[in-house]
Amino acid sequence: MIKQSILASLLPALLLGGCMGTENRGLESVHQPVVSRSDYALDLGVSGGALAGGEQQRLAGWMTTMRLGYGDRVTIDDPAGEAPGARGDVAAVVAQYGLLLSDDAPVTPAPLAPGTIRVVVTRMHAGVPRCPDWSRDASNEFQANTSSNYGCAINSNLAAMVANPADLVRGAPGAETTDTAVAYKAIDTYRKKAPTGAGGLSATTTGGK
């Protein structure tokens, strides 16, 4: 009698435990890419409206250490207009990494010292938190949820493969003009392709002893 009472009291908890975990109630997975952003800053000395001697080399060494590459955004923070000619010096270094200088530098916490400018590298990273996720027992699913891991694979691959994580947030702007010749090329190739059965069927003979 005592054993039956204990089993009866534990049964609701066991059933509840089987239903716990991440809920995926629809076809849109709850596991979506999350984009994080980091800003890295380097203050450079200026002289005569341009970078001071040796600062271009120091900037190049810093960017090499940062492994600057596609997807990174480089800006100059010079609110006092200390060195209007320094933009060209910085742009020359940035161009060695296949990038262009961007406008609108992000706000950085530390103030700039007189006679310096600040180069800011903004880097974004995309990932899907809490993946893989096998927190929900699919064998005891009574609420029509999809797997708790649903969406982890495709969205994690998307986050890993996208060249510029910022595109996951605001997308990439399209071209203002459309080249109709390029747009039509795939359709034209499809239409000119000979049907697979145009050459006829090859004859085969089968024989027996």
Question: pTM higher than 0.85, yes or no?
Answer: no
DSSP for the chain, please give it. Answer: -HHHHHHHHHHHHHHHHHH-S--B-SSS-S---EEEEEEEEEEEEEETTEEPTTHHHHHHHHHHHHT--TT-EEEEE-TT-S-TTHHHHHHHHHHTTT--B-SSPPP-SSPPPTTEEEEEEEEEEEE-TT-S---S-GGG--S--B-TTTTHHHHHHHHHH-S-TTHHHH--PPPSS--HHHHHHHHHHHHHSPPTTTT-PPP------
pLDDT at 136: 83
pLDDT in tens, the chain (209 residues): 444 454 444 444 444 444 578 888 888 899 999 999 999 999 999 988 889 999 999 999 999 999 998 889 999 998 877 788 888 999 999 999 999 998 888 888 888 888 899 999 999 999 999 999 998 877 776 777 788 899 999 999 999 998 888 888 888 777 667 777 777 888 888 888 888 777 766 666 666 55
